[in-house]
Amino acid sequence: SENKRSFKRVVLKLSGEALREVGSQDNISPEIVGRIALEIKEAHAAGVEIAIVVGGGNFWRGASASARGMDRATADYVGMMATVMNALAVQSALEVEGVPCVVQSAIEMKNVAEPFIRRKASRHLSDGRVVIFAAGTGSPFFSTDTTSALRASEMGACAILKATMVDGVYNADPKKVPDAVRYEQISFRRCLSDQLAVMDSTAFSLCMDNNIPIIVFDLNEHGNITKAITGEPIGTIVTN
Ligand code: UDP
């Protein structure tokens, strides 16, 4: 279409919950991960350099465990380990589809993943390999949304594509306010002044300060991941 965006390099943020089948006991659904891989394959074939940051919320969230009495830092390390499991599942599915891909982990785990090395990651992307960033930032008290903002900044990505359970940013919570309106485009400043939570505040300010647009889109609609990566107007874009 006419207003199609053209991205050279993007960071796709997949939450852990994106990999789970609703209502299932399994934390990871191989079928769902397979479908996500197919969409990434299509976008990859279009020539976009794709980095992926995976969450871990399908297994564990540090803040929840901490609220139930566990030491926060330790709980966060458990959460980072969870993201590594998800990263391996996504890697496997991409390889089944023939998409060249590497996992880089922010916590060294040399038997299953490369260590995170910024320049090497960038080189993989330039060479056409998908890079999956595991173990978040490697530090507790952060999130994988913050990891997306950090890696996007480091890799010089054009945008963060945040696949979520809602189809964009609304002027009010669409679950509570029936006539809530979705923005096609909104500024970081407006999100702040209207208290619209797009990401946690650390992640959000990193994107704003480093001028990384965030595209929020509905992950459940088939084809949306491909659309988002290949720059079709979709969801809501948050920019400066
Ligand atoms: N985490 C962390 N540091 C990071 C990234 C993640 O400590 O840089 C931990 C944190 O406990 C978090 C968990 O890993 O709750 C899983 O990540 P997140 O909640 O961001 O996953 P998502 O909600 O995207 O599935």
Using most ligand atoms within 8 A of CB, pick from 15, 76, 216 the residue to mutate for ligand 1: 76
Give me the count of residues in the chain.
240
Three-state DSSP state, 73: helix
Distance of CA 69 to the CA centre of its chain: 28
Q: Which atom of ligand 1 is nearest to the CA of 145?
A: 20
Which residue(s) pair with 97 in the sheet? Answer: none
Residue 57: CB within 6 Å of ligand 1? yes
Give pLDDT, residue 27: 98
CA of 2 to the centre of ligand 1 (A): 37
Distance of CA 82 to the CA centre of its chain: 15
First to last CA, the chain: 24
Q: Which atom of ligand 1 is nearest to the CA of 141?
A: 7
CB within 8 Å of 40: residues ≥ 6 apart: 12, 50, 52, 94, 97, 99, 130, 225, 226, 229
For 51, the token pair is 């980095």
Residue 15: CB within 6 Å of ligand 1? yes
Annotated binding site, which residues? Answer: 13-16, 56-57, 61, 76, 137-144, 164, 170, 173
- Angle CA(91)–CA(226)–CA(113) in degrees, nearest 5? 15
Q: Which atom of ligand 1 is nearest to the CA of 76?
A: 11
Give pLDDT, residue 69: 97
For the chain, the three-class secondary structure string (H helix, E strand, C coil) is CCCCCCCCEEEEEECHHHHCCCCCCCCCCHHHHHHHHHHHHHHHHCCCEEEEEECCCCCCCHHHHHHCCCCHHHHHHHHHHHHHHHHHHHHHHHHHCCCCEEEEECCCCCCCCEECCHHHHHHHHHCCCEEEEECCCCCCCCCHHHHHHHHHHHHCCCEEEEEECCCCCECCCCCCCCCCCECCEEEHHHHHHCCCCCCCHHHHHHHHHCCCCEEEEECCCCCHHHHHHCCCCCCEEEEC
Residue 116: CB within 6 Å of ligand 1? no
CATH, domain 9-239, list 3.40.1160.10, 3.40.718.10, 3.30.70.2660, 3.30.1020.10 = 3.40.1160.10
Give pLDDT, residue 2: 59
Radius of gyration of the chain (CA): 17
Annotated binding site for UMP, which residues? Answer: 56, 76, 137-144
pTM here is 0.97
Give pLDDT, residue 89: 98
**Which residue has the CA at smallest separation from atom 22 of ligand 1?**
55
Give pLDDT, residue 1: 53
Each residue's pLDDT expressed in tens, for the chain with a length of 240 residues: 557 889 999 999 999 999 999 999 999 999 999 999 999 999 999 999 999 999 999 999 999 999 999 999 999 999 999 999 999 999 999 999 999 999 999 999 999 999 999 999 999 999 999 999 999 999 999 999 999 999 999 999 999 999 998 999 999 988 899 999 999 999 999 999 999 999 999 999 999 999 999 999 999 899 999 999 999 999 999 999
